[in-house]
Amino acid sequence: MAETKIIILDFDGTLGDTASVIIKTMHETIREMGLPTRTDAECAAMIGLRLVEIPPVLFPECNIDVDLYADTYRRLFDVHNKDGAVKLYPHVIETLKALKARGLTLTIASSRGQTSLSQFVKNLGLTEIITYILGAGDVENGKPHPEAIFKTLDKYGFTPDQAIMVGDTIFDIQMGINAGTKTCGVTYGNGSRESLSPADWLIDDFSELLALACPVTEG
């Protein structure tokens, strides 16, 4: 197995605990647009898709203006996204710093829009750690299409076998598989352990990523 040089990270449910804000915003978007109600679990299952991709999946029986849905969601999300509403998961910051100290390149590939994604990176103290950020508008094809991974690897000159894709949903894992990278599912986010089973590794705490990316060799 090739030595890991780069780790490509999802944001929502992997680095940042955004689920409660996202689900609350989705419910309010649904109510404002007069759409059929959905459960928390049904809303959570949409995390990882781009906003314009959600309506056809969540409401296959409805003909919805996807741009209106996305605009409504963004407006309401800004209302709920107060300072301190979103925090990093335990051990994220110290693990990222340790990985960076060992020479790994750390990037983000997210289905979130670039504006809010960049703001989260800044507010959560990740600016000096994360060197490249791709949001929903930076690629033509969303997850699980591998475009975001290929774009990241091309920027740094790495090959897929030198990369680990880390995420909390099957969309993240399938994107990594489609790109030919190693894959790591985090079980504390929005995806179930069962849904993440295609990943090469599953971790229950972000700190476990350090040993996977930088294994200690004997001798």
Which residue's structure tokens are 């998961």? 89
Distances (CA, A) of 172 to 50, 131, 145, 208, 211: 12, 19, 9, 18, 21
Strands (DSSP E) found in the chain: 6-9, 16-17, 87-88, 105-109, 132-134, 163-167, 182-186, 201-203
Domain 6-17+86-213 and domain 19-80, same fold? Reply is no
What CATH number has the domain spanning 19-80?
1.10.150
Shortest CA distance to 19 belongs to which of 45, 57, 52, 58?
A: 45
Span 162-204, pLDDT tens digits: 999 999 999 999 999 999 999 999 999 999 999 999 999 999 9
Per-residue pLDDT, 83:
78
Is the CA virtual torsion 57, 59, 60, 64 positive or negative? Answer: negative
* Average confidence (pLDDT) over 109-136: 96
Residue-range domain boundaries for the chain? 6-17+86-213, 19-80
Assign 218 a pLDDT band (cuts: 50, 70, 90).
low
Q: Is the pLDDT of residue 219 over 60?
A: no
- Residue 137 is given by DSSP the state G
Q: Which two tokens stand for residue 154?
A: 């091309």
Per-residue pLDDT, 134:
98
Tell me the pLDDT of the chain averaged across its residues.
Answer: 96
CATH topology of domain 6-17+86-213: Rossmann fold (3.40.50)
Q: Which of 5-19, 80-94, 194-208 has the lowest mean pLDDT?
A: 80-94
Size of the chain in residues:
219
Distance between the two ends of the chain, CA-based, in angstroms? 18
